Structure 1
Amino acid sequence: MDDDPWLGVSINLDALQGIICQVFRVSPHEVGQPIPIGSQLFKNYAQVYSFQIAPSCDAETHSVVARLVLPVKPLFKTENEVAAMDFVRNHTTLPVPKVYAYCSDSNNPVGVEWILMEHMPGVEMGEGWEQLDYTQKRTLALDLVDLYDQLSRLKADGCGGIYHKVVNSEDSSIPGTTIRSSSRSLRWSSLSPEFLRALRSHCNHKVTIKNHYELGPLNDISLVNYRLTVPTPSQTMPIFTSDEYVKLIAFNGNPSTRSTYDLPTREKCVELFQSIYKLYPNSTVFGPSADACKFCFSHGDLHDGNILIDPQSGIITGIIDWESAAFRPLWAEVRGVGWFEEGRQRFIFGSDPPGDFKDDIDPEDVRLRAFFRTELHKRNPELYSAFVGGVELRAVVHAAADDPRPIGETDIFLSRYYRYELPRKEGKKERYWEERRRGPFPWDMNAWRHRRMDLDEMLMKQEKLLESLNGEEIRK
């Protein structure tokens, strides 16, 4: 596993403040000090700051958000995030931040890649949820339905990240110019010849996307997991079937970056996915024929911390953190958000058994869930099918993307999936993989357990050998 990529990175916030002055053409005394947004303790995939701009003239004071990008998968993650925000802002009515300027090359005065963007109003959905009454929660439910519906209507012929078409190295803003309205966000500086070649070579696929955009390397949240080996852009190129998508996630790139010890477990996840997928030969949402219906645009990391709401009305006021946005299979992304996410209530995820909605003790909870499902079905029946019917596939992909043992829970998931019995009326029980309907389980589970024990023994021997070698080095 890799070390924390923030280690050794020197960030110059004074330089960032100077760039804000340059971009907005204001003097240093008109820009406030950086205010951290969110927890800077874990930092995850970005460090985020807010700057207050108070012009000396009569112009209104406003905030600018600076997102300092984690130094993982240089160039491509930032280019994808900016293009995704431009794409959604220009082709939907969803509240997405406007990008004022950005730099996808860490070789700049700040010391890391950065994005300057509009400060979106509201509070995080997870923070404001408990303060909403039932009517406000219904308003939020409708906005979530609209969010999924609008994104699902943006389609491409392949599965991958989204990037602006690159014409030449001067495809950028010129430092010192005034911010102008544009459908395309402006780079703060020109691309280097090296980065220009990299974008051109990785983002030139002949697929159908709206004008001025191209398909390129996928930046799925699991594929930029710095606790694993982060695959290169060449290892995460666009794919064109759901089967290839799951393999890319499971193997952490193509070719795989998984270890000899870990790869067999990922192969079992792929085998299970393929077996389930074949059960839907004629579905336009699941199964091989669904891939012909094209891939839909998705946020990629849509949780209740990335959705901002008005706590007085429940209306969604902002959707942020688009770095994992991409075209994906519809079933992979329509899962609900926050309280509306039902996957862990209805299915095993990792080592957790289904919650079975045991926390829904208020009659309003039942009505609200029914309202969300009903409105989703009325707006788009395929979205509803993906939401309800895709939970099993999403659970398998979640397991496929997990960390290796002992942190990861993939082997626990596979074992529980095999033996878990669903409670049924009249005392009858049914397994997830019901052989009377689905045929034999995809593999011999007893043989797999023995294989797993052999792999564990192999790993223990490797670790002892490594300890022995390290001990020899210390003694020398």
Structure 2
Amino acid sequence: MSPSPPQHGLEWKYELFDVIPSWTVEPDMAVAKAIAIRHLPVTPSSYEITFFSAGAFNKLFLLQPLGNSGANPESFILRVILPVDPYFKTASEVATLQFVRKNTPIPVPRVIAFDSSADNELGFEWILMTKLPGVTLKSLWESSELEWESRSQLTKTLAGYVKQLTSFKFPVMGNMYPSNRPEFERISWLKHLSSETRFVPLPDNAEFAIGPVATIPFFYGDRLRLQNGRGPFQTSSSYLTSLLRLHISSTTNRKSAVSTDDEYEEDDISEFEDAISAYESLLSVLPIFFPREASGDAETFSLFHDDISSDNILVDPTTHRITGIVDWECVSLQPRWEVAARVPQLLEGPEVEDGAPIPDAAPPSEEGADEFHKELRERHEQMLLRRIYYDEMGGKPEHGSRERLFENKLQQVDVRPTAVRNWANGILHEVQLAITPETE
């Protein structure tokens, strides 16, 4: 068995059906600055470092030039990474940023330096990158300054970027990595893992390869320590099979842990059992929705940023043009049926399909309107922007695909396990009736 990766500074805090990562050791800001300065062509006194922001799995520090640092001084971000998925999450994020910068016009940060091992004086993996100009779209989205024309143009630009990403077709599903991986020689636990880890080189892009999935469902909580395949996967079926087995193993572990805790009641144990049963039922109907014997061409996959939210879109506060798309951690290659069905998070919302053409402007706001009517107007505008998005993408995807139906049921297990199990069992029953000959 391969040794477990070190996860210094990380603690997973468990609630009944939630797992939250937390820092047990705070990154030393002085050490972080010393590391960054080594990779910048300046003297240490030329920059000051301050806390910038925090995400679920990282802390960001801003390195800002002091007043006498030159005519057009550049600022940088040092992203310090919680070891939720040692090596793989950092290496994949760096490779993804480099691939996007090399092959698309999408504005993303430039990586200056990085360390995908925590074996350094900071004690954490880190990425040093340029700070892109602009403010978050979230800070402007609800402002009256952002008129309909600007919202419409922003939506068209986003659609163009997503279309760029989906134009690349990859033969397997996983995460992007560099082709050259010296860490597998110098990091002991990776060296032991090397025989179990597969990377598929890109034939038309020698700098990159596709390797194991490095996304949240595969690493949170106890999941790194479970024996389970992480790909890369050749089909949606093999990916979902691995994911479902991982759900079952992890939930079984949680049930065992909870059963020895006096604070939990029998109903809590029953909820875990219901979830396990639902996952097992989904596993049994998986071949119906994802047949192993594909009749057409081999399945292909697309690069998919699933967190294009208003927090991760930077815009010029004056022109309202997009200046950057940030936060590319855990961005992976996904099935094309999945990518086609998704819209950026800021465009998600209830759909009303009446076939009406896209108007030139959103409905005007009414002075003195109450909160209910304001919300109705916002939903209407959001729906119109989604239509613009789909129009730019080449048309709205067909609703009700079998793949998306299965995925929706998988996402419902946490809140409706019994309903999901009953649905899967009903599918099995229908199939059995169809293949069993009638008897008189």
Please report how far the alpha carbon of residue 45 of structure 1 lies from its aligned counterpart in structure 2 after TM superposition: 1.3
The answer as to whether partners of 1:307 and 1:318 remain within 8 angstroms in 2 is yes
43-52 or 79-88: bigger deviation: 43-52
Give the aligned partner of residue 142 of structure 1. 156
Residue 235 (str. 1) matches residue 247 (str. 2): no
- The residue identity in structure 2 corresponding to 1:259 is T
C-alpha separation between the residues in 2 aligned to 1:79 and 1:150? 22
The correspondence for 2:276, drawn from 244, 263, 267, is 263
Q: Secondary structure at the match of 1:318?
A: strand
The correspondence for 2:200, drawn from 205, 215, 220, is 205
Deviation by residue 1:259-280 (Cα, 9 ceiling, x = unmatched):
17343222333455654456xx
The answer as to whether partners of 1:96 and 1:320 remain within 8 angstroms in 2 is yes
C-alpha separation between the residues in 2 aligned to 1:52 and 1:24? 12
Deviation by residue 1:378-417 (Cα, 9 ceiling, x = unmatched):
xxx5xx42xx537874464355357x7xxx31426638x9
Structure 1 residue runs of 5 or longer lacking an equivalent are 172-189, 282-286, 347-357, 419-432, 434-439, 446-476
The correspondence for 2:123, drawn from 104, 108, 111, is 111
CA 1:199–1:47 in structure 2 vs 1: closer, same or farther (change >3 Å)? farther
Give the aligned partner of residue 76 of structure 2. 64
C-alpha separation between the residues in 2 aligned to 1:200 and 1:101? 28
Please report how far the alpha carbon of residue 111 of structure 1 lies from its aligned counterpart in structure 2 after TM superposition: 1.5
Give the aligned partner of residue 303 of structure 1. 309
The correspondence for 1:159, drawn from 173, 184, 195, is 173
Give the aligned partner of residue 186 of structure 1. none
CA 1:109–1:316 in structure 2 vs 1: closer, same or farther (change >3 Å)? same
1:81-92 equivalent positions in 2, closer than 5 A: 81-92=93-104
Please report how far the alpha carbon of residue 11 of structure 1 lies from its aligned counterpart in structure 2 after TM superposition: 1.7
The answer as to whether partners of 2:12 and 2:22 remain within 8 angstroms in 1 is no
C-alpha separation between the residues in 1 aligned to 2:282 and 2:400? 16
CA 1:231–1:389 in structure 2 vs 1: closer, same or farther (change >3 Å)? farther
C-alpha separation between the residues in 1 aligned to 2:43 and 2:226? 40
Residue 340 (str. 1) matches residue 347 (str. 2): yes
Q: Secondary structure at the match of 1:18?
A: helix
The answer as to whether partners of 1:223 and 1:249 remain within 8 angstroms in 2 is yes
Q: Secondary structure at the match of 2:172?
A: coil
Deviation by residue 1:209-256 (Cα, 9 ceiling, x = unmatched):
622211111012322333x53456963121111112222333337x94
Give the aligned partner of residue 435 of structure 2. none
The answer as to whether partners of 1:67 and 1:115 remain within 8 angstroms in 2 is yes
Q: Secondary structure at the match of 2:311?
A: coil
- The residue identity in structure 2 corresponding to 1:106 is A
Structure 2 residue runs of 5 or longer lacking an equivalent are 1-10, 14-19, 254-272, 353-374, 431-440
192-201 or 12-21: bigger deviation: 192-201
1:377-396 equivalent positions in 2, closer than 5 A: 377=394, 381=395, 384-385=396-397, 388-389=398-399, 393-394=403-404, 396=406
C-alpha separation between the residues in 2 aligned to 1:24 and 1:370? 45
Give the aligned partner of residue 35 of structure 1. 51
- The residue identity in structure 2 corresponding to 1:109 is E
The answer as to whether partners of 1:241 and 1:291 remain within 8 angstroms in 2 is no
Give the aligned partner of residue 74 of structure 1. 86
Please report how far the alpha carbon of residue 315 of structure 1 lies from its aligned counterpart in structure 2 after TM superposition: 2.7
- The residue identity in structure 2 corresponding to 1:442 is I
Identity percentage over the alignment?
23
C-alpha separation between the residues in 1 aligned to 2:139 and 2:286? 35
Give the aligned partner of residue 64 of structure 2. 52
Q: Secondary structure at the match of 2:298?
A: helix
- The residue identity in structure 1 corresponding to 2:282 is C
C-alpha separation between the residues in 2 aligned to 1:444 and 1:315? 54
Q: TM-score, normalised by structure 2?
A: 0.72
C-alpha separation between the residues in 1 aligned to 2:306 and 2:387? 25
The correspondence for 2:142, drawn from 118, 127, 130, is 130
CA 1:98–1:273 in structure 2 vs 1: closer, same or farther (change >3 Å)? same
CA 1:123–1:247 in structure 2 vs 1: closer, same or farther (change >3 Å)? farther
- The residue identity in structure 2 corresponding to 1:97 is P
Give aligned pairs, total.
370
The answer as to whether partners of 1:265 and 1:410 remain within 8 angstroms in 2 is no
CA 1:104–1:55 in structure 2 vs 1: closer, same or farther (change >3 Å)? farther
Residue 323 (str. 1) matches residue 322 (str. 2): no
Please report how far the alpha carbon of residue 107 of structure 1 lies from its aligned counterpart in structure 2 after TM superposition: 1.6
CA 1:289–1:375 in structure 2 vs 1: closer, same or farther (change >3 Å)? farther
- The residue identity in structure 1 corresponding to 2:345 is G
Q: Secondary structure at the match of 1:156?
A: coil
Please report how far the alpha carbon of residue 161 of structure 1 lies from its aligned counterpart in structure 2 after TM superposition: 0.8
C-alpha separation between the residues in 2 aligned to 1:273 and 1:314? 45
Q: TM-score, normalised by structure 1?
A: 0.67
Q: Secondary structure at the match of 1:212?
A: strand
Q: Which one has a larger percent strand, Structure 1 or Structure 2?
A: 2
The answer as to whether partners of 1:103 and 1:113 remain within 8 angstroms in 2 is yes
The answer as to whether partners of 2:89 and 2:329 remain within 8 angstroms in 1 is yes
C-alpha separation between the residues in 2 aligned to 1:248 and 1:307? 33
The answer as to whether partners of 2:173 and 2:235 remain within 8 angstroms in 1 is yes
Q: Secondary structure at the match of 1:72?
A: coil
C-alpha separation between the residues in 1 aligned to 2:213 and 2:400? 21
Please report how far the alpha carbon of residue 22 of structure 1 lies from its aligned counterpart in structure 2 after TM superposition: 1.1
Please report how far the alpha carbon of residue 33 of structure 1 lies from its aligned counterpart in structure 2 after TM superposition: 2.7
Give the aligned partner of residue 101 of structure 1. 113
C-alpha separation between the residues in 2 aligned to 1:199 and 1:53? 41
Give the aligned partner of residue 392 of structure 2. 375
Deviation by residue 1:61-104 (Cα, 9 ceiling, x = unmatched):
22111111111111111001100100111111111110101111
CA 1:206–1:233 in structure 2 vs 1: closer, same or farther (change >3 Å)? farther
The answer as to whether partners of 1:251 and 1:263 remain within 8 angstroms in 2 is no
Please report how far the alpha carbon of residue 200 of structure 1 lies from its aligned counterpart in structure 2 after TM superposition: 7.5
The answer as to whether partners of 2:177 and 2:211 remain within 8 angstroms in 1 is yes
Q: Secondary structure at the match of 2:427?
A: coil
